Structure formats: structure tokens, C-alpha cells
Amino acid sequence: MVNKQAIDIDYLLGNKPRPTTNNWLKSNDVIKIDYIPGSADQRIVIINGEIKFPGEYALTSKKETLSQVISRAGNISPNAYLPGAKFYRNGQQQAFAFDKLLSNGNEQFDIILNDQDSIYIPEAVYTVRVEGEVNNPSLQKFVSNQSVRAYVKNAGGKTQRGRRIFITKPNGFTQKVGFLRNPKVLDGSVVTVIPKKKKDKSANQGKFLEGFGTIAAIVSSTITTIFLVQQLN
């Protein structure tokens, strides 16, 4: 519940030693200071999910980073599932390794935030979605250390049209599953089996005609050569 309170702006600005109001800050209070109309545009980012103080945050500078804003928001909660955290920019999810930044403290993975960036830090969902060219597209229970092909097998295997397998991790990164590459699946991932490409009959027909024309040219040249030799003899 939002309960707005009057404040003494002169006291906050340091113009007098004591406030004229008796409003004292309490735990979990939120202070929001609106921009003066006509001043520089306010740049906002949104943080939701397993964070101590979720909500909208005004960027303090044009170089403020993701880790700095998360710190201002009280940091992540103990229930946060960082491999599944999502970062959105311009309405689209951007692949981003939150766990490498926030768990490992690797500043190389930090990023400068833009206006309207959005961060969502979830709890674990304990499910894996298998879709595309499988006999039973389904939402399966997450099993620790289970491989991609095991999830495909549990979905009834590939259909006759099924060909390549891709896995999209919850943080947005996608990789192809190959004959020698069968990675473990993270909670919240999506496994997709794509179909075989349809053969282009017109292209095949064109190749046949091209090949036929080449053979005809060779045969014609050979006949001409034989004829000339006979004439010389």
C-alpha cells in the first residue's frame, strides 16, 4: 500500500538543521524523487523477481552497470536461480550470463544499462520444454545431469522429419547438439528439434538439365572429332 508523506525539502537540501515534520524512515520505505519538468530525461530500468527490493530504478549516470543497480536493489535473494535470469533490451531477450557476473564476480560480464532495460531473476522452475519434430512435444520434469538426447528420447524421439537438435538455455544462449556434443540440460531450458530441409525439385531439375547439356556437348564434340579423323584418312 502506497502512503505518501509530506517532507521538508529545505531540511533535505541542508538549508536548516531540523525538519518541520516528524516523518521518520522505516524498514522497506521507498523514497522516490520526481524529476523537475523540463530537466534531463529520466532513464529507468526495471528489476523483478528474486531481488530484495524489486521495482523501477532511475539510472544515476550514463555509465551505471547491471551489478551496480542490483546492488542498489539490495542484491539477489537466497532463492534466486541465476542460470535462469533474463535480461531484456528493446523488448527482446539478450543472451547474458548472470551467474558468471553475480556468482563468480567476473566484471568482464558486466554491462552498462540503457533506458527501459528489464531484468527478471526467477526461482528454479524444475521443468524442461521439448518441442519441434518430436513424437510427443512436452514439458518435462527437470532431472539433474540429464543430457539433451535423453529429453528427446523421453519425448518419443525424433519424427521422420526431425533432423538437427538445438538447446536454448534459460539465459538466452543457444547451441547445436552434435554427434559428439550432447550437453547436460539446465533447469528452464528449451530443446528444439528442427525438420529436414525440403528438397527443391526445380533446383534439382535445373542441375539435371545442366548436366545433360554438358554430356550432350561432350558427345557432340567426340562425334565431330571422329568425323574429322575419318575425312583425313
Going by C-beta distance under 8 Å and a sequence separation of 6 or more, which residues neighbour residue 136?
155, 156
Cell (9 digits) for 192? 528444439
Q: Is the dihedral of CA 119, 120, 121, 127 positive or negative?
A: negative
DSSP state of 172: S
pLDDT along the chain (233 residues), means of 10: 69 75 72 58 90 91 92 92 94 90 85 95 95 96 95 96 94 90 94 84 60 60 56 54
Which among 213, 67, 186 is positioned nearest to 122, based on CA atoms? Answer: 186
Q: Is the dihedral of CA 88, 90, 94, 100 positive or negative?
A: negative
Do residues 128 and 184 lie in contact, with contact meaning Cβ atoms separated by under 8 Å? no
Domains and CATH numbers, the chain: 41-121 (3.10.560.10), 127-195 (3.10.560.10)
Residue 67: enclosing H or E segment and its boundaries? helix 66-72
Strands 190-195 and 138-141: unpaired
Cell (9 digits) for 56? 523501477
Do residues 97 and 170 lie in contact, with contact meaning Cβ atoms separated by under 8 Å? no
Q: What does the pLDDT read at residue 154?
A: 96
DSSP state of 115: T
For residue 208, give the 3-state DSSP assignment: helix
